[in-house]
A = this chain, B = another copy of it.
Amino acid sequence: MLINNLKSKIQNRDACVAIIGLGYVGLPLAIRFSQEDYSVTGFDIDEEKVKLLNIGKSYIKHINTDDITAMSANGFKATSDFSKIAEVDVIIICVPTPLGVHNEPDLSFIHGTLENIKPYLKENQLLVLESTTYPGTTEEILVPFINSIQNQESKIENQKFTLGVNFYLGYSPEREDPGNKNYTTKTIPKVISGVTENCLELTKALYDQIVDQTVSVSSPKVAEMTKILENIHRAVNIGLVNELKMVADKMDIDIYEVITAAATKPFGFTPYYPGPGLGGHCIPIDPFYLTWKAKEIGMNTRFIELAGEINTAMPHYVVQKVGEALNSVGKAIKGSKILVLGLAYKKNVDDLRESPSLELMDILLDKGAKVEYSDPFFKTIPRTRKHQFELKSIKLNNDLLRSADLIILATDHDDFDYGLIQKEGKLIVDTRGRFNNSEKVVKA
């Protein structure tokens, strides 16, 4: 009855938990397990993150340093030494799953993790994947991986795993929403699955300790598809309002007024808002995992592709509006001083992942604009895979606002003084519907 031993350990908080990948998903999860008195070890290949955590510092704005120090006081250690995997009972993988340049799934972080932990896996461990991925990943990649582990590949003697008997595998998609003040890791219901009944039982026993509600589904691929559906839903609904924004604009209708009015319908309608493009790690990326997988079975995901096409075109649409606005006062984009407000992909967070602001700035610079930006969350712009800027955030004041030929509101942080901007700005291109209608405001 190996399963009962592990289950008791989990339920009695005697289990040691390893969290691999200490980013937006793994770090809050580590904190949550630590809060419930589990012995938690955090793994990351980024030595800088390991170092910061071990001196009690947070590198994510919405995660408090207090939570890190409390976790450290409770025994948490971060490490990049994967041999310590041999010392834990539960391993949770929270590594990124980005897209390759051809919009294909990039599972290199998952594969890298599996290679790193392979020599140190041992009997009676529970391994759970939390990374968002296409339906079938757990069954098609992780199951064969576990089944392939033989004695010669392990640094621990006599290892041969039988899933559900002496090794357990689950999939539970992360549902983190950075900056959401209404829901936390604890209060967001968690979808769980296992490759066998025993695997599900243990996965459920584990998450039942740290979240208020677990939702069991019948297989890992159902859990994988669940997370993808959640993000497809958002990507398509945002694509839809972005398309309708352009139609409404041509009809001289303010789409924000329309959405606000429609949102008074108490059933059958949920408001989504347009913007300068999609950002964040989930919405622009995850849907294409399904698109890629669907091709394998000869199916198309046309809504996803249409949403991708329209959302990707948004920064260009904004630039077109910028060009028209400047033209109306006899100026070209080239040589104009353009101030971009907000770099983060959504308001009030310090998260730059896939932010359309960067794309916007790249296009404007390419067209010869003199681009400046202001974002209280980014004093400078960290280098990303696609973009590199040598700019510093500018603090807004009357003179600065007056000196810009055009101001683009890209991300509507609450910190901005909208009254001042509307008063002092010469021309404003508003991609968030935040400014009052006036002659100098162009909605885009």
A-side residues, CB < 8 A to B, are 135-136, 175, 177, 180, 182-183, 187-189, 191, 213, 215, 217-219, 221-223, 225-226, 229-230, 232-234, 236-237, 239-240, 243-244, 246-248, 250-254, 257-259, 261-262, 264-270, 290, 293-294, 297-299, 301-303, 306, 310
How far is the CB of A401 from the nearest CB of chain B, in Å?
Answer: 28
30 intermolecular pairs with C-beta atoms under 8 Å apart: A136-B251, A180-B267, A182-B266, A182-B267, A189-B265, A191-B261, A215-B261, A217-B257, A218-B254, A221-B251, A222-B258, A223-B261, A225-B248, A225-B258, A226-B258, A229-B259, A229-B262, A230-B262, A233-B270, A234-B269, A236-B240, A236-B303, A244-B301, A247-B294, A250-B294, A250-B298, A250-B299, A251-B293, A270-B270, A302-B310
Given A247-B299, A299-B246 in contact, is the A222-B182 Cβ separation under 8 Å?
no
Given A222-B261, A253-B221, A261-B217 in contact, is the A243-B301 Cβ separation under 8 Å?
yes
Separation of A254 and B237 alpha carbons in the complex (Å): 23
Separation of A295 and B115 alpha carbons in the complex (Å): 55
Question: Is A268 a contact partner of B223 (Cβ separation < 8 A)?
Answer: no
Partner of A232, one of B244, B250, B257: B244
Separation of A230 and B293 alpha carbons in the complex (Å): 32
Given A135-B253, A226-B258 in contact, is the A264-B303 Cβ separation under 8 Å?
no
Q: Residue on B with the closest CB to A437?
A: B218
Question: Is A233 a contact partner of B240 (Cβ separation < 8 A)?
Answer: yes
Chain B neighbourhood of A268, CB < 8 A: 177, 230, 233-234
Separation of A215 and B135 alpha carbons in the complex (Å): 44
- Add 15 more A-B contacts to A219-B253, A225-B251, A243-B302 (CB < 8 A): A135-B251, A215-B261, A217-B261, A218-B254, A218-B257, A221-B253, A222-B254, A225-B258, A226-B258, A230-B268, A236-B236, A239-B303, A240-B303, A247-B294, A250-B298
